[in-house]
Every structure is written in structure tokens, then in C-alpha cells.
Amino acid sequence: MQTLWNKGVAATDIVEKFTVGNDRELDTVLAKYDVLGSKAHVAMLCKIGLLTESEKKQLLAGLDDILSEIESGTFRLTQEAEDIHSQVELTLTERLGELGKKIHSGRSRNDQVLVDIKLFLRDEVFSVKEEVLSLFAKFQQLSEEYKEYLLPGYTHFQVAMPSSFGLWFGAYAETLVDDMHTLAGAFKVINQNPLGSAAGYGNSFPLDRKMTTELLGFETLNYNSIAAQLSRGKSEKAFAGAIASLASTLNKFASDCCLYMCTNFRFISFPDELTTGSSIMPHKKNPDVWEIMRGKTNRLQSVQNEIALLCTNEPHGYHRDLQLLKDILFPAIETLHQCLQMTLYMLEHIIVNKDILKENSLYAPMFSVEVVNNKVVSGEAFRTAYKEVGLAVKEGKFHYDIPSEVSGLHHTHEGSIGNLCNKEISEKMKKAALPICHTK
């Protein structure tokens, strides 16, 4: 294996296998971003006089060729190269001779991997944002479509008060707004340019770091070169926090679906092809998708902690164990995409039971609060009305004519079943998503 840092002494196979692990496979994800970072760096080197205009054009053309190969899937990380940074430079050198070796002037693999990861994470934030917006739109659509259909609300797993499908779907839409804020916060941390910090202490070349910041579309720089190195782990943890926030939302919705699909509830169902059966019980329709979703999103919520533990007790500067961040975060990002996409797919096929309350008289007591409130409106003290209704329930004398729709009740305040405020929630989402945008 060729290493850019080799001084004539090769690592033994067992050391190389242990220290490299699957990092080379994970590095292929960064190939595109390594080329983009190199193109910006080459343009800057020309501006400050370390490359001629002719050399810049040759290098940029060579990098564009490599980028085309990456996008077509024909570019390969060979056994001779240690990592993607080495492969890009070695490929250029093979094709352009000594000129290819000039692209490393003024940078280290430390700031190379930093800029690659930040560019990669920034694109992933954009992708997650679009998936969240699609899921948000679906929740809002379902909220409006089923806003008149009543649903039992629960506390302590006990029937509590009247809810609605509109309120339930709408709740997850608004919760995604909070998740979007978390994603925007991660984007703010990520969208800073570390290129030029080199190994963490800058260098004596008159680098134009503002130029590469503009060329790469970063909002600003990691100005302090040590701070740029300290951002390794910070960016990953910030994104992992956003992943955990989204995973928590998906996890709770998956748990709801497992419960609501149960034959004791029958609030919702899905087509047979989206459920699984039993090997001995022919009547079963199991919520395997939601159970796997629940498991995957539980694991996603641990990623932030795993990153925090990996980075604990490290002094500033680069350390080889930071390489393992990719092994933790990259698969988690892919899992998040899968969970967001699968949730949307399942929602596109959800079947709502519109007649739940008509099918079971056991739900009548959840309207006891309606009776209490009506008595209060008529002039009774709340505690007096509460005791009267409570005694009627206890003695089995409570009766309430269950309305067929939400409009049969009088819930008017913001955020109640009669006033979902979906338009206002939509405006909240627009504002939450606004900071996640391209800066050029």
C-alpha cells in the first residue's frame, strides 16, 4: 500500500489491518467531496502564486475527469492507496506526473478529511431536510383529511379524553418542526470551512481561506486552526443529535402504530402486503415494519452518545481514533434515510377506522370531562360538578350521546381537536427549514 506519509518503513500487515479496518470502504462515500475540496484548494493555490495558470487548468481538468468517474461509478480505491485522499493524489500523479504532487501544498490530510466530512454532512442535511418536509406534508394532509373523525385519547394507558385522527397526525407534523430546528442547529455547526487549518496549526503559505470558503459554499470559516481540528467530532455529534431527535419522533409514531393496529384497538390497519403473518395462527397481521422501525430508531438515539464516548478524554489535535467516527455515523445516516422513507411509504397506505367510537360503548366515559365542563358553563363550581359526574361514573349511571364527528363537540381553542391550527404549524415549519439552504 502506498501512503503519502511513508518514509521507507512499511507497517506490518497485522498493524495495517487493525488500524485501517473498513475505513477504506467508508472513504468511498467521501470521494466526490475530496475532489471538490481539492478543486477549491487548487484554485486558491494559483491565486497565491503556488501554481501557474496553466498548472491550475491541468489540475482542474484532471480533477474533473476523476469526478466524472466517481459519478459514473468507475472510480476505484485501489489496494495501493491508503485512503481516498491518497487515491485522488496518486491518480492525478499517474496522469499528470509531478504536477499531481503539487495539490497537497498548504494542507494536511487532517483538514482534507475535515472538509470532506463537512461537505458530505452538509449534503446529507439537505437530503434529510427534504425527506422530513415530505413526511411533514403527509402528516398534515392526513390531519386535514381525518380531522372530523374521533379517536380515544389515553393517559397511563387508560381511556382519558376525546382526541381525533386529525389531532394525532397533526401532532407528529408539529413535532417534526422541533426536529427541523435541531437539524438546522447541526447545519450551523457543520457549515464552516476548516480547509487551510492543515494539521491544526496552519502553515507559512499565504493561504486565502476566505476564497476556499466562498468556492465551497460554506457560510463562514472555522477561523482558529486548532478550533477547526476540534470541530472533528463536534460536527458529527451535532448531526447525531438531529438524528436522535428525528428518531425519537419516528419511534413514538411506530409505537403508536403497533398499539393502534392491535385487534383490541383496531384504530388503524394496513394492507396485507405491508404486514406479516404467523406460522401457526392464520388470523395474524403483525406490524413487523413498525416493530423494526422502533428497534432501528432506538439504536439511532444511541449514536450521539457513542460519538461522545469516542471523543471523551482526547486532548486537542488529531488522533487516529477519530477515524472511527465514520464507522459510527455513516451507517446511522443511511438508517435514518430508510426510516424516514419507510414511514412515508406506510402512511401512504394507512387505513383509518372512522367508526371506532360507535363500535364500543366503553369509550363513553371519556366524555365525562365534557359533562363536567358543561355544568361549569351553566354556573356550577368545577369541584362540585367533578364529584357529581365522578359518582355517576362509579355507579354506572353515566350516559353521554357520543357525537359522530368532532364538530359535535365544542373544542375551539388553538391546538384542540376543533381547531388544529395546521396552517400555523405549516408556517412554523417553513421558518424552521429556512436556515438550511445553500449559501451560493
Q: With 80 as the cut, is the pLDDT of residue 13 above it?
A: no
pLDDT by residue (tens digit) across 269-314? Answer: 999 888 876 566 666 688 899 999 999 999 999 999 999 998 888 8
pTM: 0.91
The answer regarding whether domain 13-105 maps to CATH 1.10.275.10 reads yes
Percentage of residues in the chain having pLDDT higher than 70: 92
Task: Using pLDDT thresholds of 50, 70 and 90, give the confidence band for residue 236.
Answer: very high
> Region 4-11: what's the mean pLDDT?
52
Residue 24 has a pLDDT of 65
Residue 276 has a pLDDT of 77
Report the CATH superfamily, name and number, of domain 110-154+162-358+418-433: Fumarase/aspartase (Central domain) (1.20.200.10)
Query: Which of 281 and 142 is assigned the larger pLDDT?
Result: 142
Q: With 80 as the cut, is the pLDDT of residue 9 above it?
A: no
One-letter-per-residue 3-state SS of 204-249: CCCCCHHHHHHHCCCCEECCCHHHHHHHHHHHHHHHHHHHHHHHHH
- How many other CB atoms sit within 10 Å of the CB of residue 123? 12
Q: With 90 as the cut, is the pLDDT of residue 191 above it?
A: yes
Q: With 80 as the cut, is the pLDDT of residue 354 above it?
A: yes
Are 438 and 217 in contact, with CB atoms under 8 Å apart? yes
Cell numbers that stand for 294 in this block: 422502533
Residues 184, 355: Cα–Cα separation, whole Å = 40
Q: With 80 as the cut, is the pLDDT of residue 19 above it?
A: no
Residues 31, 68: Cα–Cα separation, whole Å = 11
Choice among 44-53, 92-101, 210-219, 353-362 with the minimum mean pLDDT: 353-362
Query: Which of 381 and 27 is assigned the larger pLDDT?
Result: 381
φ/ψ of 150, rounded to 5, equals: -75, 150
Query: Which of 19 and 158 is assigned the larger pLDDT?
Result: 158
Residue 5 has a pLDDT of 45
Catalytic positions are 156, 278
